[in-house]
Amino acid sequence: MRMGRRLGLLLLALAAAWHSPALAHDRAQIATQACSGAAGLSEAAATLTAGASSATPEDAAWAATLTGALLDKTIRCGARASTIESPSGFIDAATLAKAAPADGSAPVLSLKNRPLVETARAAATLFAGATAGERAAALRALERRAASLPPELFETAAAREPDAGLKEQILGVGQSALLNSSDVAKRIAAIERIAAQPSRRAETQIAALKSDPAYAKEPVFAAAVDAGLASIDRWLRVSSVANTLYNGLSFASILFMAAVGLAIIFGLMGVINLAQGEFIMLGAYVAYAVQETLRAVAPGLLDWYLILAIPVVFLAIAAVGVALEATLVRRLYTRPLMTLLATWAVSLLIVNLVRVGVGTQNLQFVTPSWLAGGKLLVGDFIVTWNRLFAIVFAGVTLVATWAVLKRTPLGLNIRAVTQNRAMAGCIGVPTRRVDMMAFGLGSGLAGLAGLALCPIYNVNPQMGSNFVIDSFMVVVLGGVGTLAGTVVAALGVGQINVLIEPLYGAVAAKVIVLLMIVGFLQWRPEGLYAVKGRRK
C-alpha cells in the first residue's frame, strides 16, 4: 500500500513539474530529498528530469553534478548538509560551495531508482554537457526511455543545441516523446515525422498507438496512425524488394566472375575446366596469404590488403592456369570429355593438397575498416559495403575483361581463334599460345572471384564446389563467345536464385533454375547469345 501511495506521489510530482515549466530547481530541497531514502531519491530524480528543460544553465550543471555524485557514490549524506567529493575538495551538495566533509555515506541505489537517476543525469547533461560528445552520449541514454519523457525536454534541448548534426538527432529522438504529448496536433505531427523514416522499429512504435485511448476517440488521430502505418508498410515492402535485388546482384557478381573465365575457355577450346571452383578457392587462399604477409611486414597497410592482393591473386592463379594448360589440357584438346575428367582430378588434387597443407578450418579474414557496415538507404534496406565491394569489383572486372578482349592484340587473337581456329592458324595466329594465355586469363578471373568472396563468404577448401555448378549453368545459359551472354545469364541465375529462395527455399531455387535452363535449351540450344555459325 505504501508503495502505491509513493508511486502516486511520484506521478503527481512529475505531472506538477510538467505543467510548471518556469520554476527553477529548489536545490536545497532536492538535495535533502536525495538523501532521504529510496523513495525520496526516486522523487528527486523525477523532479530533476521533469525540470531539466526549464532549468537555468547553472541549475542544469548542478543537477548533472549531483546525479553524477549519486551514481559515482562520491556524495556524503550528512545530518544537516550533504557534501560531494570533487577533484578540488569537498563541496556542498546544494550550493556547490566549498564545505567541510559531512560524515554520512552515499545512499544505496536500488535496481528501481538507478535508472531514474541515470535518466536525470542524462537529461541534465543534455543541457549542461561541455562537449557535443558528452551530449550525444546523454541523448543515447535517453533514447531508450524517450517515450516516457516530457517532449519539451527534447524541444528545448534541440533549440539550445549548437551542433547541427546533434540537433537533428535530438529532434528525431524527441518524436518518440512527442507521441505521448497531450496536444493531439503535436502527436500527429510526430507520427508523420516518424513515418517519414520507415523501419521495423517505427512500425511497432506507431502500431502501439492503436491501443491508445485517443485512437478510438479522435478520428483525426486514428487516421494519422493508419496513414503512418500504411506509409511505413509500403516503404518496408520497397526496401525488402531492394534487399532481395541487392543480394541477387552480389551473388550474380560472384557468378559472373566465376563463369566468365569458363565461358572464354569453353568458347575458345571447347573445354570445361572442372577445377574452376578450386581456382576460386585458391584465389581466396592467396588473398589470405597476402593479408598474413602484410600483417607481418607492413601492419599499416593491412587495411588495404584486398586491394593490394588483386594483382597478386590474378597473377598467381593465372600462373596455375597456364601450368595446367601446358601440362594437361593442351595434350587432351581433341578429347574434351577426357579433359573434364582430368581437370576434375586436378581439382581433387588441389582440394586435398590445401586440406593437408593448410587445414580444413575456415580462414579468418580481417574486415577492413572501409568494408565494415553500410548505409541505410530506405526502410531496412542497408547497402552493406562488403557486398557493394563484390558488385563494384565485378563491374570493374567486366570492363577490364571487355577491354582485354576488344582492345588488345591478345583479345583479337582470342576472338579470331574462337571464331575459326583453322583459319586463324593459317594466317599466323599462334593458336596454342593464345590457348595458353586465355586459359591463364580465365583462371586469373576465377581467382579474383575468390578474392571478392573473402569478405562475404566462408573460406575453406570445400568452398569452390558450391560455385562451380552454378557457374556451369551460367555458361550453358549464356552461351559462349560473348561477354554479354555471361553477364545476362549470371544476372538471371543470380536473381532467380535469390527471388525464389524466400518463397520456396534454396533447394527449390536450384531445382527451378535447372529446369528453366533445360527448358530454355529447347528453345535456344546454343545459349542466349550464340555466335552465328553452322549448327553441329
- Interface residue list for another protein (CB under 8 A): 266, 270-272, 274, 328, 331-332, 334-342, 344-346, 348-349, 351-352, 356, 465, 469, 472-473, 475-476, 505-507, 510-511, 514, 517-519, 521-522, 525, 535-536
| Cβ atoms < 10 Å from Cβ of 2 | 7
Which of 115, 336 has the CB closer to another protein?
Answer: 336
CB of 258 to another protein, least distance (A): 14
Q: What is the dihedral of CA 215, 217, 221, 223, to 10 degrees?
A: 80
* DSSP class of 83: E
Which of 335, 375 has the CB closer to another protein?
Answer: 335
Which of 395, 533 has the CB closer to another protein?
Answer: 533
What secondary structure does DSSP assign to 460-498, as a single string? Answer: STTTTHHHHHHHHHHHHHH-SS-HHHHHHHHHHHHHHHH
CB of 273 to another protein, least distance (A): 11
Evaluate whether 470 touches 255 at the Cβ level (below 8 Å).
yes
Which of 381, 467 has the CB closer to another protein?
Answer: 467
Q: Which amino acid is at 389?
A: F
CB of 372 to another protein, least distance (A): 33
Which of 117, 446 has the CB closer to another protein?
Answer: 446
Evaluate whether 360 touches 460 at the Cβ level (below 8 Å).
yes
Residue 162 burial by Cβ neighbours in a 10 Å radius (0-12, 13-18, 19+): exposed
Which of 16, 345 has the CB closer to another protein?
Answer: 345
CB of 509 to another protein, least distance (A): 10
DSSP H or E run through 374: strand 374-378
CA angle 300, 302, 305 (to 5 degrees): 135
DSSP H or E run through 288: helix 276-297
CB of 2 to another protein, least distance (A): 55
CB of 191 to another protein, least distance (A): 43
Which of 142, 346 has the CB closer to another protein?
Answer: 346
SS3 335: coil
CB of 330 to another protein, least distance (A): 11
Evaluate whether 78 touches 46 at the Cβ level (below 8 Å).
no
